[in-house]
């Protein structure tokens, strides 16, 4: 990590305003956050998102059929779970001792909570807006 500590070594339930401010700034200034968001907004112009979706459903350019695309989606999702587990184990997290195990469990809990929160928010937004 940038602070010299291992992954999962520094979580806390009371991070303090300095850490919250730093995390908010890092998130807001990250192209990994605003570039996809800006792209999604651009796709809303003149219904481009719906047009692109309809085109992809009709022509099935990548997988040849909707059924093949659904199968590929399932395989990709399952692979992402495997890679998630592998990265949890592979990231440096301190000395291989009780500290390492605690750090891994902390990091896993934070990542899994973030993923569940993101999934819940996404479902809620789709339900509230009628999209998806």
Is residue 130 scored above 70 in pLDDT? Answer: yes
Residues in contact with 110: Cβ distance below 8 Å, sequence separation at least 6, in sequence order: 8, 11
pLDDT of residue 17: 93
Is residue 132 pLDDT above 70, yes or no?
A: no
CA dist 102 and 89 (Å) reads: 12
Q: How many CA atoms lie within 13 A of 11 on its CB side?
A: 16
Mean pLDDT score of the chain:
88
CA 8 distance to own-chain centroid? 17
> Does 111 score more than 80 pLDDT?
yes
pLDDT digit string, tens, across residues 54-87 = 999 899 999 999 899 999 999 999 999 999 999 8
Q: What is the pLDDT of residues 12-70, one digit of tens each?
A: 888 899 989 998 999 899 999 999 999 989 998 889 999 998 999 899 999 999 899 99
Asked if 114 and 120 touch (Cβ cutoff 8 Å), the reply is no
Is the pLDDT at 118 greater than 80? The verdict is yes
């Amino acid at each position: 990590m940038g602070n010299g500590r291992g992954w999962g070594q520094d979580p806390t339930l009371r991070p303090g305003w300095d850490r919250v401010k730093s995390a908010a700034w890092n998130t807001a200034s990250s192209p990994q956050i605003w570039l996809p968001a800006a792209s999604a907004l651009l796709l809303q112009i003149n219904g481009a998102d719906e047009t692109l979706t309809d085109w992809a459903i009709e022509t099935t350019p990548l997988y040849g059929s909707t059924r093949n695309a659904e199968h590929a989606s399932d395989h990709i999702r399952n692979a992402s779970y495997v890679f998630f587990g592998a990265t949890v184990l592979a990231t440096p997290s301190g000395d291989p001792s009780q500290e390492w195990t605690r750090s891994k469990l902390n990091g896993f809990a934070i990542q899994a909570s973030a993923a569940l929160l993101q999934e819940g928010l996404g479902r809620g937004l789709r339900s509230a807006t009628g999209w998806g």
